[in-house]
Amino acid sequence: MFPFASRASAGRHLAAALRHHAGSGAIVLGLARGGIPVASQVAGPLFADIDVLIVHETGVGLYVEGCRPLIELPRTIQLGVHAADVTREIAHETAEIQREIALFRGQRPFPHIAGRTAILVDDGSASPRVLGAALSSLRARGATTVLALPVLDPAAHASLAAYADEIVVLAPADARGLAFAYRELEPLGDSDIIVELNRARIAAWNSRPTLPTIPTIP
């Protein structure tokens, strides 16, 4: 039995669990890639802005957009990775993140989140290392952090509590892998992410309460 039919279905369930943030001025940030179809279903019901947060994880490093690369030197020694290889990896990952920023956000800067609640959403595929680094980057920008996931390994909950002011999880992760959380788990390409983000931005804008019309003074 799968907990969720799809990422979109999981997002709708998450939106219900996060309804206390509706209309609060929060911003929903989906982790690329798997977090975007989930986040796209969360933003509208919360009347929230939506954007993407790009984080890459390799065998020896973490790369969060807008942050310096985090290279685990003991791991490079353990794996026998040479300094020249690390340099090449940094250049490659930095360039790839810039490519994705241009694709998914265009010319817009990273949203202003200082003083706001930033709700970080993923489909459950991101590792605790990635989630912790992503949350830390949002806190460094001055946001109150909420981690919202359809599934999470209970063992990771305590460690992530140090990075999030609130954690919302719908179900424990299946030890057999993410495929056992969703009946449908489709691969996501660049075009899928762009379509989801554009659709979610339009839906979030259209779902906002209509302001009253100011009467004309004769």
CA dist., res. 155 & res. 109, Å (int) = 35
Q: What is the mean pLDDT of the chain?
A: 92
Domain contains 124: yes
Residue ranges making up the domain that contains 126: 7-55+112-206
Domain contains 202: yes
Domain contains 163: yes
Specify burial of residue 28 (Cβ count, 10 A radius: 0-12, 13-18, 19+): buried
Total domains in the fold of the chain? 1
Domain contains 137: yes
Domain contains 162: yes
Domain contains 151: yes
The three-class DSSP label of residue 95 is: helix
Domain contains 75: no
Summarize pLDDT for 130-173 with one digit per residue, the tens.
999 999 999 999 999 999 999 999 999 999 999 999 999 999 99
Summarize pLDDT for 60-112 with one digit per residue, the tens.
899 999 999 999 888 888 888 899 999 999 999 999 999 999 999 999 999 99
CATH of the domain at 128: 3.40.50.2020
Predicted confidence band of residue 211 (pLDDT cuts 50, 70, 90): very low
pTM: 0.91
CA dist., res. 26 & res. 48, Å (int) = 6
Residues 6+ apart with CB under 8 A from 213: none
Domain contains 40: yes
